[in-house]
Structure formats: C-alpha cells, structure tokens
Chains A and B, each alone.
Chain A
C-alpha cells in the first residue's frame, strides 16, 4: 500500500516536472512575429568587432520569397533617424523560403573603410531590415531585428 502511494507520488512529481519543463521550453522558444515569421539576432547585445548572428525562419505554412539570398541591411539609430551602415552584395536571383526553413546570416560589427558614404560603426542601437514577399497574399512585410552594440571594455 505504502509502495503504491510512493509510486503515485513519483508519477505525479514526474508529470508536474514534465509540464514545467515543457512550459519553460515553450516560453523560451522564439515565437513567430507578425506575419508568421521569426527574424531576430541570437543575442540582444554585442561588442564592436563581434560577429552579429541573426536568422530568419518562415514559420508560415506557405512558401515566401526574398529578393536574393541575403536581402538584409544594417541600420544605426542617430539622433533623428535610422541610417544605413552596411548591406551585403548577393546574386540577384529570387530566393524562395519554404515553410519551416531557416536562413542564418552574420555581420561583423566593424568599420568598412571602403564605404565612406555610410556612417561608421559605433556603440548604439541597431536594427536589421529584411523584406519578405508573401506570395500567397500578394503583400510584403518589412521585418526588423534589433540589437545594441557596445564599446569593448578597456
């Protein structure tokens, strides 16, 4: 009798632990943003010189299209506007993204001397733009992922 109660207690504890674990997992997993996409950086803070990692997941049930395999751009917030800092050059081929597919990209947060027309990489607030065409609905969506760039500690 005592053994049965102990077993029941262990089963109950196990169920509670499982429920808690699943809840924690769900809470910590990225949820699709508006439109059924996930677009975010892997960290919210980076140091100048770091490699900023970010990714795009098509969490919708239909295929969507990008203008090329890397149609993103990095912008820095100044006093009154967001200013272009960097964009990659990619083959200009239309790039479908299937349901559930994830694309990963990186940007090294450092100055590029070859682009004097753009503002320098400094500590501050940044955002990454990504435009996605939702073919099934005939509309597009500009996705934004934010991060903060800090100076390296002396």
Chain B
C-alpha cells in the first residue's frame, strides 16, 4: 500500500511491529509543480479552491505580458514609465502566485492579481515608491499583498519603512508578506529591513530539493533569520524559494534566467505564502488578515509549537492551514486574563496560535508593544504555555488521552498608552 504521511507518523510506522518494510518514494516533478505539491497547496485546489474572487497584490519590479498570466490591473511608481518587468524578477513572482498553466500552476491561479511596479529603471526602488504602491493596491481592494523588495541592512524592526508597514497592516487590514532577505556566505544572519516589522508575515526560503517529499527539505543557507539586538523570532514562516520554475520574460517557464541567474531567494518564497493566503480567503471570505496570519502560522508541516531558526513558526502547509478551523478573537487589559473553554478530543493533537499587532499611532510612531502570554490549562494540572516577552506570536499544543475541556487563557501585560490589546487565536485539531 502507499500513503502520504507526515514525519511523525512515519516514525510511528517504522516502529510498528506489523510493518516489515517502508519505502520512501521521492516524487520528482517540474519545480513550480513541486513547490505547490510540497506545501500541499494542491490539496486545496483539489477541494475547488483557486483564489477565485480574491484580489491579491504584488509590490515588485513589474510584470511582463505572458500567455499564462492575466493581470487584473497594473501600474508603476518608480521612474520607469512602463509596467513591464525589466529586471527578470516580478514576472517570476507573479507566476508563482497566479500562473494558470496546467503544470506550472500558481498557488492562487484563479485569483485577481494587481501588479504595482515600484522599481526604477535600475531595478532598485525607493521607500516612497513602495509606500505609494501599497496605497494603490489598497485602492484596488487587494488586501493580500507580497513585497519582495528589501535591503541588505540588518533589521531591528524599527526602521521607518518597518513602522510604515506595521501601520499599514493595522490601519488597512492587510495581510502583507515580506521577504526575509538573503545573507551571502559569511554574512550576518539577521533578517534585512523591512523584514523585521512586527505586523507583517516575514518569509524565509526553503530548498525543496525538487522533490514533493519534505523529508529532504532544508532551509536554504542564505535565508536570513533573527532580528538584530533582539531575541525576536523572525521569519514567521518559510516556504519554497530555491530554483523555482515560473513564468519568465521570454513567454515561457524557467528556473534560471537567460543570464544564468538562478531563481533563488526569499523573493520567491513570499508568493507561495501570498497564494496560500489567497486560497484561505477563498475558503473563508470572513477570515480577516490577522486570522489569515494565524492560520498560515498554525499550519506548520511539522506541527510544532515552537519557533526555530530553520523552520520558523511554520514550514507552510496548505492542508494543515486549511484544517485550522478554530478561530477566536478577543481583547485583554493590563495584568488581566482572558479565557475561554476549548474541548480537546481524545487522542487528537491540538495546537493554538495567538497573534496580535504592535500598535501604531501614526505611520512613523509606535503606540506600544503589548506582551501577551498564551496558556492552555487542562484538569489535573496539565498545561502548556508560551510566554515570550518580545514576540507578537505565541503557540501552545497538547494531546489528551481522553476527551477533555480545557481553558485557553491569554494574559496581558500592556504598556502605558494601551488600555486594551485585541488579538486572534487560531487552532488546529487533528
């Protein structure tokens, strides 16, 4: 018999006395197809979700016309008065999101995608162009947005553009996915500005080794992680971003540009996450940006409840993200508890993710950062807690041998100026 199972189940299978031998089959497929299958986005397609009716946006280097790319709208904000991609970059990103090719299919191939070209003629962008691009995308109703433009400067989360991004996410209710940045060999491993912003979803690059199986996947050596002068957990998620085959400027598909440059970097991991968020919005049109963030972070292939520099909070998994059906929202005051009852089914693995925003009073001014803790308390003194003082994500998990009603609790420690901190909790039970 054959089956697709996660690594935990594989260990169980290998240990079972009834099992004589296990063959691990590595499926080799064209690379864009591999990426989508590796992160189980294809399972959402199988259920009929394509991103139809969902508007996605991309801040990038423009998109060149391609038979498998249909844009809902495009504009430019740099000094290059064209909307096409002169940099051999944005067209690849667009294909990962929206290509409608039968094999090289983009994650949200049925969505409406808007391309905001922020790059100048030299393929470099300035902050005002990026900010203007975000404003334009918002005017088009694109509430799930990718930004692959970044620096090579270590982030501490407080640069002007990072504050702007945090403010933009909160005030416009935008799911904004941003490239973590690439660290060449020997360099500082910290995420690059603007990847350290709090309210965005920062994305790192996994090498899927061109196989659907994830047993051999690993974070790409140059994918940035960590925040300068802090123990903050960044990136938030990782996704395939190594040698990604996608739509190119020559009207075909490739994972290497004509000049030999490999389509590798955190740039190409971001559109996988944006596409997945688009599918989740198609699945549940009522899921706001914070719930989408919670679902993408909860839907970790490894089903872990801790952050690691390799897999972040989540190596994105379409199927698990889709199964993350529990969602609660609430708010908590300073040194107060918020709680609710949750029922944990016997033998099920349960994980809960708490997400909230750094609060902004203006585009360049932080109102404050609340320290929230998440606790799952079950009868008999059994509990799990997540109590970082620096992150705006907490995760807990638990499996109970018998069906049990437990308390899910959030504790708030708020700075002056914030009287109540709103949050979202997303849960997965499998």
Q: In terms of DSSP, what is the predominant structure of the interface of chain B?
A: loop
Contacts of B186 in A (CB 8 A): 133-134, 138-141
- A69 → B minimal CB distance (Å): 6
Least CB separation from A113: chain B residue: B128
When the two chains form their complex, are residues A68 and B160 in contact, meaning their CB atoms are under 8 A apart? Answer: no
Q: Which of A65, A92, A132, A139 contacts B149 (CB 8 A)?
A: A92
Q: Is the pair B262, A70 in contact by a Cβ cutoff of 8 Å?
A: no
Tally of chain B residues near chain A (CB < 8 A): 51
Q: How many whole Å from A67's CB to the nearest CB in chain B?
A: 4
* Mask of B117-155 contacts with A, CB within 8 angstroms, 1/0: 011001111111011000000000000000011111100
- Are B179 and A92 touching (Cβ within 8 A)? yes
B184 and A67 form a contact (CB under 8 A): yes
Most B CB contacts (10 A, CB to CB) among A91, A115, A118, A138 go to A91
A92 touches B187 (CB 8 A): no
A91 and B193 in contact (CB under 8 A), knowing A68-B182, A112-B127?
Answer: no
A133 to B222, CA, bound (A): 10
Q: Are B264 and A90 in contact (CB under 8 A)?
A: no
CB within 8 Å for A114 and B181 given contacts A71-B152, A131-B152: no
Check if A66 is an interface residue, CB within 8 A of chain B.
yes
Docked Cα-Cα span, A106 to B124, in Å, equals: 10
Q: Is the CB of B184 within 8 A of A131?
A: yes
**Which of A69, A72, A117, A134 meets B163, CB within 8 Å?**
A117
Q: Chain A's nearest CB lies how many Å from the CB of B260?
A: 8
Asked if B185 is at the interface of the complex by the 8 Å CB criterion, the answer is yes
Please choose the segment from A18-26, A36-44, A51-59, A81-89 that sits at the chain B interface, where 4 or more of its residues have CB less than 8 A away.
A81-89
Stretch with Cβ within 8 A of B (4 or more), from A9-17, A93-101, A146-154: A93-101
The docked-state distance in angstroms from the alpha carbon of A106 to that of B123 is 12
How near does chain B come to A26, taking the closest CB pair, in angstroms?
31
Q: Judging by beta carbons under 8 Å apart, are A117 and B160 in contact? A: yes
Q: Which residues of A contact B264 (CB under 8 A)?
A: 93-94
A144 CB to nearest chain B CB (Å): 14
B153 and A87 within 8 A (CB)? yes
Q: Check B149 against A91 for contact (C-beta < 8 Å).
A: yes
State how many angstroms separate the Cβ of A89 from the closest Cβ of chain B. Answer: 4
Complex Cα spacing A138 to B119, Å = 31
Closest to B151 in A: A87
CA distance A92 to B264 in the complex (A): 9
Q: Determine the distance from Cα of A115 to Cα of B153 in the docked complex, in whole angstroms.
A: 15
C-alpha gap A70/B161 in the complex (Å) = 17
Is the Cβ of A84 less than 8 Å from the Cβ of B153? yes
B94 at the interface (CB under 8 A from A): no
- A-facing residues in B183-208 (Cβ within 8 Å): 183-188, 192-194
Contacts of B176 in A (CB 8 A): none
Q: Given the known inter-chain contacts A94-B262, A116-B364, please indicate yes or no for A89 contacting B130, CB distance below 8 A.
A: yes
> Are B267 and A93 in contact (CB-based, < 8 A)?
yes
Taking the closest CB of chain A, its distance from the CB of B205, in whole angstroms, is: 9
Known A-B contacts A67-B192, A68-B265, A131-B187; the reply to A89 vs B163 at CB < 8 A is no
Contact check, A96 vs B261: say whether CB atoms are below 8 A apart: yes
Interface residues of chain B, those whose CB is within 8 Å of chain A, are: 60-61, 87, 89-90, 118-119, 122-128, 130-131, 148-153, 158-161, 163, 179-188, 192-194, 222, 260-268, 364
18 contacting pairs across A/B (C-beta < 8 A): A70-B124, A71-B151, A72-B152, A87-B153, A89-B127, A90-B123, A91-B61, A91-B87, A91-B89, A91-B123, A94-B182, A94-B222, A114-B127, A116-B160, A138-B185, A138-B186, A140-B184, A140-B186
